[in-house]
A = this chain, B = another copy of it.
Amino acid sequence: MTAPSTALKFSAIAERIGITERTSLTTHPDLDPEILSVAAVQTAIAGQLSYIEGEKFAPLVATTAASALILPSQQPELQAQATERGIAWLSTADPRLGFARAIALFYTPFRPAPGIHPSAVIDPSATVGHNVSIGAHVVIQAGVIVGNDVCIHPNVVVYPGAAIGDRTVLHANCVIHERSQIGQDCVIHSGAAIGSEGFGFVPTASGWEKMEQSGITVLEDGVEIGCNAAVDRPAVGETRIQRNTKLDNLVHVAHGCAVGQGVAMAAQVGLAGGVKIGNRVILAGQVGVANQATVGDGAIATAQTGVHGNVAPGEIVSGSPAVPYKLYLKASAIYRRLPDMHQALKKLQQQFKG
């Protein structure tokens, strides 16, 4: 499934992922299989490396056909079990991170060769760095600045005055609107629209009057934006997403939002206008955040939550409208019993009258 790659000795992998705590090699120096590829533990076969994390997957140490495993250092019983089954292993506090690094040893992401396809249309006033890859039918308009080592896949359109930082990747058919500032090491996935016009209309007696969106969208370094997502620019000032923040597919960020560093937003999250999201916030899938709401550093909103007003730093919220997560667990459990409660209450009322 993955691209062909050279086999690696397990010992070499253990060394290269750089976060090993212990390995089976200290006790079984001969147990150093050749690893051909990586796989999920449920489907791994001989010659493959996998990992175990969480209660759901721990029992699979007993049955997996993997030749090697990355195991949690917190569960020495799994290590013993693997040893018994002749599976090579290494342990780490974060097996998923170890596995991520192991994948990278076997997988070379597709990257077009440097060069500018002759069908790309690049305005003479644009500035293009060195070692870039600009695909077929790309359109780069007046005054755009493209950094070094940038990769622009086919059919991307960059409107005038935008800037694309070094090493940033723009996937096919995404659109970067006028004056957007995209940092270094960003990834904009297919079909995403960055810096598009905010939804600015003022109600008047004769209908909606457009408020021009003269601001800009700024994505700082290391930001990723998912497929078919949209990050609008505001009427004045900027919409800003700070460094290393990751947005999944189909996320909407409205005009004037300020999103902190290291934030993760799962698919189909929507931020209304002027929302402020702190650093390291996690918004799960389909969360909505209302106009001008504020979410503090490190807060979490679980899936489908509707946030209004303010969420305190570190708070976990759920439900629509959002309430603290623990309260939500209780209230939603009781919600299931509402018919019973209703009956019980009616009965009490009758008993009391009687």
Contact = CB atoms under 8 A, between A and B. Distances in A.
Interface in A213-251: 214-216, 222, 226-230, 232, 235-238, 244, 246, 248-250
Contacts of A29: none
A212 B249 contact: no
Greatest chain B CB density within 10 A among A40, A236, A248, A335 is at A236
Greatest chain B CB density within 10 A among A2, A155, A215, A330 is at A155
A183 interface: no
B160 A175 contact: no
Nearest to A19: B204
Main secondary structure of the interface of A (DSSP, over half): loop
A173 B175 contact: yes
Contacts of A303: 272, 288, 290, 306, 308, 320
A117 B122 CA distance: 12
B270 A270 contact: no
Interface stretch (A6-14, A79-87, A124-132, A187-195): A187-195
A352 B351 contact: yes
A310 interface: no
Given A38-B214, A137-B121, A172-B157, A252 B250 contact: yes
Interface in A318-337: 319-321, 323, 327, 330-332, 334-337
A348 to B, nearest CB: 6
9 contacts: A1-B215, A1-B238, A2-B236, A56-B292, A137-B155, A207-B244, A250-B270, A272-B303, A321-B332
Given A1-B216, A38-B214, 14 more contacts: A43-B237, A121-B154, A153-B157, A153-B159, A173-B174, A207-B261, A208-B246, A228-B229, A230-B250, A266-B272, A320-B320, A323-B336, A334-B338, A341-B345
Interface of A: 1-3, 38-40, 43, 56, 94, 96-97, 99-100, 103-104, 106-107, 109-110, 117, 119, 121, 135-137, 139, 153-155, 157, 159-161, 171-175, 177-179, 187, 189-191, 193, 196-197, 199-202, 204, 207-212, 214-216, 222, 226-230, 232, 235-238, 244, 246, 248-250, 252, 254, 256, 261-262, 264, 266-268, 270, 272, 284-286, 288, 290, 292, 303-304, 306, 308, 319-321, 323, 327, 330-332, 334-339, 341-342, 344-345, 348-349, 351-352
